[in-house]
A and B are shown apart, each in its own frame.
Chain A
Amino acid sequence: MTQQARVIGDTLLKVESISLGFGGVQALSNISFDIKKHEIRAIIGPNGAGKTSMLNVINGFYHPQEGAITFKGEVRRAMRPHEAAKQGIARTFQNVALFKGMSTLDNIMTGRNLRMSKNIFWQMLYLGPARREEMEHRQRVEEIIDFLEIQAIRRTPVGRLPYGLQKRVELARALAMEPELLLLDEPMAGMNVEEKEDMCRFILDVNEQFGTTIALIEHDMGVVMDISDRVVVLDYGRKLADGTPDEVRGNQDVIDAYLGVPHDEGDG
């Protein structure tokens, strides 16, 4: 894996005037923001604000009725998730979506799938080139296992792991794609303090060591304020605020809508 310095660069992804509705429900209306290279961008908002919809739009799962998405300088429309993946967008899910019966190692190997060039027949024979390819990919996967400190569960079926570790395996699988943009949907939901701290450290390390751009949804305000470079706030499908954690923290609309009561620290 390449080691890149962490310098916030040009715009990597831009969403402009996105509107998305399901029948009578307007999930997103007229949302615009951008994500810059190498930054950690948080999307926050109360339940039902449209955060996950926004991620689904970015990775091509939902197709907005209006608006444009520009990724790496190219405007795109109506893209399927696997095409987004090929372009370098990986994600994790709010409810862990792993293959429960497969080992940690195999789950992470699936993240390499798009990068494998040999077809299934070669892979079944496991001869010559297919074998070499598998070994190269395994090497990458082992680096990620080392990085996320999950050596001990390498061979454990994912279904037997506690939730916090499953989340880590899911992050590992997303990293195995070597994405340019990593979308994390509530990476810390349901974790205890210690697991949250570990996860924070991993997110920062990924961002720092691999230079991966990260967009994350998170409810824990302490975490968001600590690790993000910029925060966009959604409420009822509208954009409420956009800026650095400090700016967002001081924004009266945000305090009213999201934090509920006026707060001194804003880290509730």
Chain B
Amino acid sequence: MSGADTFPKLLLENATRIGGHPANREKDLGIWQTWNWSQVADEVRALACGLAALGFKRGDKLIIVGDNRPQLYWGMTAAQAIGGIPVPVYQDSVAKEMAFVVDHAEARFALVEDQEQVDKLLEIRETVPRLEQIIYNDPRGLRNYGQDFLNSYKAIQEKGREYDRANPDFYEKSVAGGKGADTSVMLYTSGTTGNPKGVVLTHENVMRTARNNQIMENLTADDEILAYLPMAWVGDHIFSFGQNHTAGFCVNCPESGATVMQDLRDIGPTYFFAPPRIFENILTSVMVRMEDAAPIKRRLFHYFMDLAQRVGPRILDGKPVAAGDRLLYALGSILVYGPLKNTLGFSRIRLAYTAGEAIGPDIFDFFRALGINLKQLYGMTEASVFITVQPDGQVDPETVGVPAPEVEVKIADNGEVLFRGPGSFQEYFKAAEATAETKDAEGWVHTGDAGLFNELGHLKIIDRAKDVGKLNDGTLVAPKYIENKLKFFPNIKEAVAFGNGRDYVAAFVNIDLVAMGNWAERHNIAYASYQELAAHPDVLEIARQHVEQVNQDLAQDPNLGGSQIKRFLILHKELDADDGELTRTRKVRRNFIAERYAELIEALYSGQEECHVETEVTFEDGRKGVIAADLKIVNAEIFPVAAELKKAS
């Protein structure tokens, strides 16, 4: 095993050990460009020396903003090599959000992808006077900017090579000066409340967590992953940066955000992470396309998918399956599963993870039925991702698995999940109070999630601990549990449930424009916008059926059966992170929504059948507008709760 305790040291080690092995790939002008480990080491060295020549000192922060680009990943190692701390920022942050991070991190330097990000930084420059130098990777559109603090990536590397020639032992000395206990990265968590917090992680945090998981899952230098999730998110940092270095595998960067699905197919990764939403979108698009396929293909698909649902997961887990079914499954692989996986770019997948939200059992089973080893994990930035992981062969859509290697997990008296392990974060940057609230003296980190262990020792997460509430009659309400049940319907994209301190549960619903739009097309329903489709009586009716299905499900549960949805409405706009309704990782900000749509909530809890609403929205270019609508409020049927046959655990 390697003796390197920091990522720059590990990079040098990789460059000698597997120098010719691909480390990064990027599709540029339609062609995949590859850099091997020794080339990456050179690129990073030039950039690090360039930063030093620009005045970057030990302890300085380097803001990194952009889509996943090899050059930006190199920026991380380059900053670390000379004792700096990379601070990746979500690339779709609006200028104000970015200003907060740049200011809070006290950064003097920024490395950004292109003009779009440069413009944002220029916009906030007055409010963050500390920011001195900006380096951009893609010069397009920036030719006439002319500000002397704007530097091109190439120019900085050129400067760096000169600096390197003049100070030949600078780089080695700087790298050697780093320790495992040094801060390796600061990741700002989007946070469902208040301002983002800067989670401080050390080289040791990231490296040990990355390596533990690598050993558990047998990741090798021959694996391939596609880096398409935001670089500011801890998962991408562990998979596309941490494990890239520890396992030495190649990280592939897509051509652009819009081409991810095609690039996925080009590369055919062996190791893949996606939040449930993406698996859901893939499933929806497969189903939509099958609806449009020729009848014979459709029947073939449904026949073999039924078989796969029945035996696929068992075959994957190595459980006994009848020989006849096995044979049919093999035939199905040739006729349906193989071609389908190939179309999706999943042919070579050995390990797929999902996390972040509950995943619908249908979605989960669909991919496992195809023979894709999809597993759930439970993690957070404060843990350098891994808290629990499902081991091979012990997979269940309801749970998130057993504690990851070296990680301890326990449930507090109030039901909150606590953990302690090698990835536990050091602190929230400049927020000692918040750190103390989250991490106690013994090192236990409070996740804020309510959960329990089942009889097999697998963790099950029900909701945010603070969101679990009670109706006026004392019935338990876990809003997220209800929302997730709603969201498992392909037609429903987002849901927000309310009930704490009320007489009954009520909900907002967002329809899924792709699934519902396709349905509308097949039923000759014309619509011009989300708003129009959402208000269509037939759509309301479909939503009502879904809600009642959820009520029926809930009625089976003696503990949560009282929290059935009595009234709901379909919102006139899609919930959007730009309007602050979702976090950047697309989690619902329930309290913010409750305030913003207070009149709608009042209408849900009064006898009103319709409610007029006007909402300010932010367009992608930052301008604002107002949309108005009259929303119908729908009553749903409530089912009798199953008697408590046996005392629930």
At the interface, yes or no: B327 with Cβ under 8 Å from chain A?
A: no
At the interface, yes or no: A208 with Cβ under 8 Å from chain B?
A: yes
Interface residue SS majority, chain A: helix
At the interface, yes or no: A209 with Cβ under 8 Å from chain B?
A: yes
Q: Are B30 and A151 in contact, CB atoms less than 8 angstroms apart?
A: yes
Per-residue CB contact flags for chain A residues 98-142 toward chain B (1 = under 8 Å, else 0) read: 000000000000000000000000000000000000000011001
Chain A's nearest CB lies how many Å from the CB of B576? 14
For A138, list chain B residues within 8 Å (CB). 30
Quick one: given A151-B256, A152-B262, A194-B621, are A208 and B29 in contact (CB under 8 Å)?
no
At the interface, yes or no: B143 with Cβ under 8 Å from chain A?
A: yes
Please name the residue on chain A nearest to B261 by beta carbon. Answer: A152
At the interface, yes or no: A2 with Cβ under 8 Å from chain B?
A: no
Per-residue CB contact flags for chain A residues 131-172 toward chain B (1 = under 8 Å, else 0) read: 000000011001101110101101100000000000000000
At the interface, yes or no: B258 with Cβ under 8 Å from chain A?
A: yes
Q: Are A151 and B619 in contact, CB atoms less than 8 angstroms apart?
A: no
At the interface, yes or no: B644 with Cβ under 8 Å from chain A?
A: no
Interface centre among B30, B141, B255 (most CB of A within 10 A): B30
Enumerate B542-584 residues with CB–CB distance to A below 8 Å.
none
For A145, list chain B residues within 8 Å (CB). 29-30
Please name the residue on chain B nearest to A197 by beta carbon. Answer: B621
At the interface, yes or no: A220 with Cβ under 8 Å from chain B?
A: no
Q: Are A194 and B620 in contact, CB atoms less than 8 angstroms apart?
A: yes
Docked complex Cα distance between A149 and B140 (Å)? 12
Docked complex Cα distance between A79 and B470 (Å)? 81
Per-residue CB contact flags for chain B residues 126-155 toward chain A (1 = under 8 Å, else 0) read: 000000000000001101100000000000
At the interface, yes or no: B591 with Cβ under 8 Å from chain A?
A: no
At the interface, yes or no: A205 with Cβ under 8 Å from chain B?
A: yes
At the interface, yes or no: B33 with Cβ under 8 Å from chain A?
A: no
Chain A's nearest CB lies how many Å from the CB of B100? 26
Q: Are B141 and A205 in contact, CB atoms less than 8 angstroms apart?
A: yes
Per-residue CB contact flags for chain A residues 170-200 toward chain B (1 = under 8 Å, else 0) read: 0000000000000000000000011001000
Docked complex Cα distance between A149 and B256 (Å)? 8
For B144, list chain A residues within 8 Å (CB). 6, 208
Please name the residue on chain A nearest to B623 by beta carbon. Answer: A193
Interface residue SS majority, chain B: loop
Docked complex Cα distance between A195 and B449 (Å)? 42
Q: Are A208 and B143 in contact, CB atoms less than 8 angstroms apart?
A: yes
For A152, list chain B residues within 8 Å (CB). 256, 258-259, 262
Chain B's nearest CB lies how many Å from the CB of A132? 16
Q: Are B141 and A154 in contact, CB atoms less than 8 angstroms apart?
A: no
Quick one: given A151-B259, A209-B140, A209-B143, are A142 and B30 in contact (CB under 8 Å)?
yes
Docked complex Cα distance between A94 and B248 (Å)? 53
Please name the residue on chain A nearest to B256 by beta carbon. Answer: A151
For B31, list chain A residues within 8 Å (CB). 142
For B29, list chain A residues within 8 Å (CB). 139, 142-143, 145-146
Q: Which of A6, A139, A151, A155 contacts B255 (CB 8 A)?
A: A151
Please name the residue on chain A nearest to B31 by beta carbon. Answer: A142
For A209, list chain B residues within 8 Å (CB). 140-141, 143
Docked complex Cα distance between A206 and B256 (Å)? 20
Interface centre among A6, A147, A151, A154 (most CB of B within 10 A): A151
Chain A's nearest CB lies how many Å from the CB of B477? 39
Q: Are A3 and B143 in contact, CB atoms less than 8 angstroms apart?
A: yes
For B255, list chain A residues within 8 Å (CB). 151
Docked complex Cα distance between A151 and B256 (Å)? 7
Chain A's nearest CB lies how many Å from the CB of B382? 35
For A3, list chain B residues within 8 Å (CB). 143
Per-residue CB contact flags for chain B residues 607-628 toward chain A (1 = under 8 Å, else 0) read: 0000000000001110000000
Q: Are A154 and B30 in contact, CB atoms less than 8 angstroms apart?
A: yes
Chain A's nearest CB lies how many Å from the CB of B335? 25
Docked complex Cα distance between A31 and B346 (Å)? 62
Chain B's nearest CB lies how many Å from the CB of A35? 22
Enumerate A32-63 residues with CB–CB distance to B below 8 Å.
none
Chain B's nearest CB lies how many Å from the CB of A196? 11
Q: Are A151 and B258 in contact, CB atoms less than 8 angstroms apart?
A: yes
For B256, list chain A residues within 8 Å (CB). 149, 151-152
Docked complex Cα distance between A144 and B69 (Å)? 20
For A205, list chain B residues within 8 Å (CB). 140-141
Chain A's nearest CB lies how many Å from the CB of B342? 16
Docked complex Cα distance between A125 and B590 (Å)? 63
For A154, list chain B residues within 8 Å (CB). 30
Q: Are B619 and A194 in contact, CB atoms less than 8 angstroms apart?
A: yes
Please name the residue on chain A nearest to B30 by beta carbon. Answer: A142
Docked complex Cα distance between A114 and B342 (Å)? 38
Docked complex Cα distance between A194 and B623 (Å)? 11
For B620, list chain A residues within 8 Å (CB). 194
Docked complex Cα distance between A155 and B265 (Å)? 13
The 7 closest A-B pairs by CB, nearest first: A152-B258, A142-B29, A142-B30, A152-B259, A151-B255, A151-B259, A151-B256
A-B CB contact pairs (8 Å), 11 listed: A139-B29, A142-B31, A146-B28, A149-B258, A151-B255, A152-B258, A155-B262, A197-B621, A208-B141, A208-B144, A209-B140
- Show the binding face of A for B, using Cβ within 8 Å: 3, 6, 138-139, 142-143, 145-147, 149, 151-152, 154-155, 193-194, 197, 205, 208-209
In the complex, besides A142-B29, A194-B620, A209-B143, 6 extra interface pairs with C-beta distance below 8 angstroms are A138-B30, A151-B30, A151-B255, A151-B256, A152-B258, A194-B621
